[in-house]
Homo-oligomer: A and B are copies of this chain.
Amino acid sequence: MIPSKKFMTIALSAAKKGCQNGYGGPFGCCIVKKDKIIARASNTVLKSSNPTAHAEINTIVKACAILKTHVLDECVIYTTTEPCPMCFSAIHWAKIPIIVYGTAIEDVKKLGFNELMIKAKQLKISGKSSVKIIGGFMLKECEDLLDFWKNLPGQETY
């Protein structure tokens, strides 16, 4: 599977809009089925007072509502940063077979987010998950997003 720049660009754009509006951290996501976008979302932890409202969780919930199913087994998830263990496991429960991400958990830990430092690949191995993980995709653009956030006034980590 060759990841698509178009879909990561949509995830980046959701992330930028979200953090510009103070919804939450600089994270965006989109879910694609047969080359069609089903849903996109940013992190909204701060706006919604919901610690589980990461971009991936928000996008999975939206995509499932649209497709009226709790199974997304024909989908690909694009996310600007490597999924944290919560989001990785949500992707597993949703049976999404492919994850494409840009920056790594280490990069956002450095920004001050309270990440559990467990890599998606490590969880895949420990949990015997069959999900395929493609990391570092459009890395420069995803790094630029983190820099954009760093320069925003009044950013908040959690």
Judge whether A85 is part of the interface by a CB distance below 8 angstroms: yes
Interface SS of A by simple majority: loop
Q: How many copies does the complex hold?
A: 2
Nearest CB of chain B from residue A58's CB, rounded to whole Å:
10
Inter-chain CA distance A126–B61, complex, in Å, is 28
Inter-chain CA distance A89–B84, complex, in Å, is 8
Inter-chain CA distance A45–B93, complex, in Å, is 10
Which among A8-16, A28-36, A117-125, A143-151 touches the partner chain?
Answer: A117-125
Q: Which residues of B contact A49 (CB under 8 A)?
A: 64-65, 68-70
Q: Which of B51, B85, B86, B93 contacts A114 (CB 8 A)?
A: B93
Q: Which residues of B contact A127 (CB under 8 A)?
A: 85, 116-118
